[in-house]
Every structure is written in structure tokens, then in C-alpha cells.
Amino acid sequence: MNIAQNLKKISISIPQNVSLVAVSKTKPNSAILEAYNTDQRAFGENKIQEMVEKYENLPKDIEWHMIGHLQRNKVKYMAHFVHLIHGVDSLKTLIEINKQAQKHHRIINCLLQLKIAQEDSKFGLSKSDVESMVISEEFSALKNINIQGLMGMASFTQNKSMIRTEFKTLKTNFDSLKKNITVNFNLSILSIGMSGDYQIAIEEGSTMIRVGSSIFGIRNYD
């Protein structure tokens, strides 16, 4: 498994307006450095503790993306450095992120996770949840967060047409929210697509893909 070659292969196959987050969860610092040495700067992790350890031991110009489900009581550990939080799925979590961001005099970039998969196991908000949340007073009071876009995960399936349909739904919701909600909101990022489905995601409007195993090899555990 040659990380540099894998990265190059993916980078040249994606359009310029699509950014690549290299998902390095469970992988050692040496693997991240191999990618870093080919100029990859955006890395994604799904556990806050693991991301903090990597942040402390790796070059400081890495952009760290939190892509996993958030435990609110751990937001404080990453508030001083996290670049983008992908999986925000509640107002409560946004309030906590805002509070921790304030302590560090930062504005933290977030994506709202929309539920698009049929599976019950996937987290996320519905479009109407987002619509009612953003007009609430509590939401308007959050000055230290910046909602930059939406994130979604398709069902875990080999059925490509089902995955495509789910991505299409998310893109439709993205376009509609972008058009109809102009206060407190500036949607520009659509984070969809992983190793198995990023080509479909790009065809359906992804602007940010999160790719792990196609770069770093399969994981033994998550």
C-alpha cells in the first residue's frame, strides 16, 4: 500500500472544486506524515481523543476535521485547533461548540449532518429540523460558530442506485436551504462521499469527500 501513490491517483481524478479530506482514523502518525509529505493538509478523525494526540505530535499546519459523532463533553479538548466539525446534529451540540469556541476567541466552522440513509443507525437532522432550528432565538445567539454546509452518509450498501438517490436528496435539501435561509447561514460545503462512493457523490454535487481506506488501506477496527 503506497499512500503517496493512492493520494495522487485520487487527487487527479477529482475536479478542482472538490476538496479531499484524508481520513486517518486508527492510522499511525507515520502514515499521516507520508500523506503530509505529498502536500495533503486536511485530515479527518472520528474520535476526539485520538485527534488531540495526533494534533499534538504532528505539524501544526495540518487542518483537522472531526467527522465522527460528537460527544459533547469532549468538545472542549479540540476547541482550540479543530478546523471543521462535520457531524453536528443538534442545537445542544452547537451551543456547546459555541461556548468552547468563545473561550478560545475563535469562530468554529461546522457542518450540519442531515440524515439521508434509510438505516436507523445513522445520525442526523431532517431538513425541517434545520429550518426550525435556524430561526430559533437560541441559534441566532451563537456568534462563535459558522455553519458552512451540510454533511451526509449514504446507507451501507452495494446498491449504487440507492446511494445515488440518497445523495440526490441531500443535494436537493442543500440547494433549498441555501436559497431559502440567508440569515446566520452561508452554505458552501457539501461533504458527501467516502472510498466506496465518492465518484457518485461528486456526480451528485459533493464539494468535499472524506476518503480513508482508499488512501491508507483497510482498517482493522473503527
Ligand X SMILES: *Cc1c(COP(=O)(O)O)cnc(C)c1O
Residues found near ligand X in the complex (CB under 6 A)? 23, 25, 46, 67-68, 153, 194-196, 210-214
Hey, what amino acid is at 14? I
Count the neighbouring beta carbons within 10 Å of the beta carbon of residue 37: 10
**Distance between terminal CA atoms of the chain?**
19
Nearer Cβ to ligand X (67/75): 67
Give the residue closest to ligand X by C-beta. Answer: 212
CB 182 within 8 A of CB 134: no
Nearer Cβ to ligand X (171/210): 210
Cβ of residue 115: shortest distance to ligand X, in angstroms? Answer: 13
Nearer Cβ to ligand X (22/142): 22
Helix (H, G, I), strand (E, B) or coil at 196: coil
Cβ of residue 62: shortest distance to ligand X, in angstroms? Answer: 17
CA distance 76 to 170: 30
Cβ of residue 48: shortest distance to ligand X, in angstroms? Answer: 13
Nearer Cβ to ligand X (46/173): 46
Instruction: Please name which of 3, 64, 55 lies closest in space to residue 210, comparing C-alpha atoms.
Output: 64
Cβ of residue 24: shortest distance to ligand X, in angstroms? Answer: 10
